[in-house]
Amino acid sequence: MQAVGVCTWTFGPLPLEQIASRLQHLGFDGVELLGELPLEASKVRAVLDSHGLRLFSLTPANVDLAHPDPARRLEALDYYHRLLDFAAETSCPLVSCHGAVGRFAPLATQAQEWAWLVEGVSQICSYARALGLTVVFEVLNRYETHLVHTAEEALALLSQVGQPNLKVLLDTYHMNLEEANLPAAIRQTGPHLGLFHLADSNRRGIGEGHTDFAEIWGALREVGYTGPLILEATAPGPNPFTPVKGAGYLETLEADLSKSLRWLRARAQ
């Protein structure tokens, strides 16, 4: 049965112990952990192990690999190196990275910032390769970042970075905004697909929007993706940069997660 997890970011400021307890109760297999360093590897492992959860992947805090200021780029690289060290300590096989969230336009030129992104991701992959880890680059929509919006652009990044341990992370919520055809984008990514996020068109759980998940499921099977499926849904409400949508957001989130898990379990046999 294909493993299903949840990104801990979706629970907002809840301590990991509480998130793990909720996910265990809902019947999930594991988590994608928000990499808010410093994290203590032994404590994270103890919490997850005590709730029977696996650590599938790490999603980064918001740093900027393509900033015109060299000090900001070095700061971002240092963060990723520490995140990769943590991943190695916790035996977490996948670490994701992406462009700066909330920056919608270049501060230098698009071409220059793309070059800085290629340089930074290449260095991250080299560091990860020495640790035996895989890096997955997450494709975000244009309202969250100005770099890498489509599967085609992600594949161009992979080609220019040229590191064998770099894969693509596709997310159905972002794809809904950027891809003309979601299943076609999955097929185009093919063997380069390293991780898959799911949320409906409105970033809620499966079935709460208009995304055709049956077609997406078929495309995932066609390309042979057998990695974890990570739900990154949120309750409805303003401000896409926080999952905390007001009173009752956790109850709505958990109802959506439970419904989504049932949909996936029915197909992931």
Catalytic (active-site) positions: 138, 232
Whole-angstrom Cα distance, residue 129 to residue 144?
A: 28
Pairing of strands 229-231, 193-198: parallel
Identify whether the C-beta of residue 107 lies closer than 8 Å to the C-beta of residue 99.
no
Nearest of 218, 221, 160, 154 to residue 192 by alpha carbon: 154
Coil vs helix vs strand at 81? helix
Identity of the residue numbered 156: A
**Bridge partner list, 168:** 137, 193
